[in-house]
Amino acid sequence: MADESDPVERGATDSADLYDIATWEQRSWLDRLSIGVYRGVRRLARAIVILLALIILVAQVALTGLAAVSDPVIGAFVLLSVVPAFALAAYIWYADVTTSEPLTLLVGTFLLGVLFAGFAGVLNTLAGAITAIPVVGMALFFYLVVGPVEETVKWLAVRLYAFRSDRFDAVIDGAVYGAMAGLGFATIENAIYITQSIEQVSSVGAQRIATAGQTAAVRLLAGPGHVIYSAFAGYYLGLAKFNRERAGPIVVKGLLIASFIHATYNTLVTYLTDILAYLDVAIGPGAAFLGFVVAYDSLFGYLLYRKIARYRTVYKQVNMGRDVSFASGDTEADSVEGESSERE
């Protein structure tokens, strides 16, 4: 890696005072003021982002019928619709072999995932004209807008809060908080879909409940995907935190992976019926959707599991004082110096 120090700093003796010449540190009142202003601007920027997200959420409650969630029955359907996503996020939390994450950070990240979903809704709506492009419009919309936008706002939910904490002290913590952000996003998204579905039903009573139940059943399958995608992005955010000299490219890599998996899911689901018809596969749309979602989430859930398992293996072996080496693509160590490579 190239030496990033100034030539003066490289050539000077250790005793040379290079303050305000080639190096800098806090000394004067102006230095202290500059640090204070910088920190204040950062805090203000975070507060503005959160305030805007809150305003958007309030608007969603007013305009989309989201207030209907306060109905115990509708609220119960929303909660049921996120059970698989919650279970997956809980497993990722359980798989964290390092120190347990504090509840305040987990809940805070979840709530930011809920709040920041509004940004995605606004941006997706503004860019919706892309779907008018013949043939490829929907695919372009998913790959260029929905995937990148939604994964970025979930990433932001981790970056603005948990990432800054000293308790975010391991790479794998990024996957845990990413999963929580995904769970928050899935929760508010499911709530919007369910409440909008009942708003379209003119009758009351059993028909509304049946409609809410049907929508909740569909959303029940969609939720785990959000957890998986953002757990990938979160893992790479954790990797970036402990590799600051390459933090930018690492973060981008995580977002590209998450966005691609997300957009591919959306695209395949959208064209699933057409694909099956083209292949002359005789299967009902409901069964096809169920089978596809289970297979797709299982595939990428397994890849996420392998990534987490690899970290767990090395963490345990390093803490036993072993030197560990890997072959590319393996989830378990090839060799452990002075020991058998077999896991306990």
Using one digit for the tens of pLDDT, what is the confidence trace for 181-214?
999 999 999 998 888 888 776 666 677 788 888 8
Quick one: which of 225, 194, 259 has its CA closest to 85?
225
* The last residue of a domain, from among 218, 250, 270: 270
Q: Are residue 97 and residue 44 in the same domain, yes or no? A: yes
CA–CA gap between residue 224 and residue 186 (Å, rounded): 8
Give 280-314 as a DSSP string. T----HHHHHHHHHHHHHHHHHHHHHHHHHHHHHH
**Residue 289 domain boundaries:** 281-344
Q: Are residue 202 and residue 81 in the same domain, yes or no? A: yes
Q: Are residue 186 and residue 322 in the same domain, yes or no? A: no
The model carries a pTM of: 0.85
- pLDDT exceeds 50 at position 87: yes
> Looking at 51-65, 195-209, 262-276, which range is the least confident one?
195-209
Q: Are residue 199 and residue 247 in the same domain, yes or no? A: yes
Are residues 343 and 323 in contact, defined by beta-carbon separation less than 8 angstroms?
no
- pLDDT exceeds 60 at position 336: no
Flag whether 10 is in a domain.
no
Q: Are residue 207 and residue 344 in the same domain, yes or no? A: no
Flag whether 20 is in a domain.
no
- pLDDT exceeds 60 at position 162: yes
Q: Are residue 251 and residue 294 in the same domain, yes or no? A: no
Mean pLDDT of the region 45-64: 86
Flag whether 7 is in a domain.
no
Q: Are residue 186 and residue 59 in the same domain, yes or no? A: yes
Q: How confident is the model at residue 19 (pLDDT cuts 50, 70, 90)?
A: confident
Are residues 116 and 153 in contact, defined by beta-carbon separation less than 8 angstroms?
yes
- pLDDT exceeds 50 at position 117: yes
Flag whether 33 is in a domain.
yes
Mean pLDDT of the region 19-37: 90
Flag whether 193 is in a domain.
yes
Q: Are residue 186 and residue 45 in the same domain, yes or no? A: yes
Q: Are residue 134 and residue 60 in the same domain, yes or no? A: yes
Quick one: which of 158, 160, 188 has its CA closest to 175?
158
Total structural domains in the chain?
A: 2
- pLDDT exceeds 80 at position 68: no
How big, in percent rounded to 5, are the helix, strand and coil portions of the chain? 75, 0, 25
The residue count for the chain: 344
Q: Are residue 255 and residue 310 in the same domain, yes or no? A: no
Q: Are residue 250 and residue 110 in the same domain, yes or no? A: yes
At residue 20, the pLDDT reads: 84
* The last residue of a domain, from among 214, 237, 270: 270
Q: Are residue 256 and residue 326 in the same domain, yes or no? A: no
* The last residue of a domain, from among 249, 270, 291: 270
Mean pLDDT of the region 161-188: 96
Flag whether 249 is in a domain.
yes
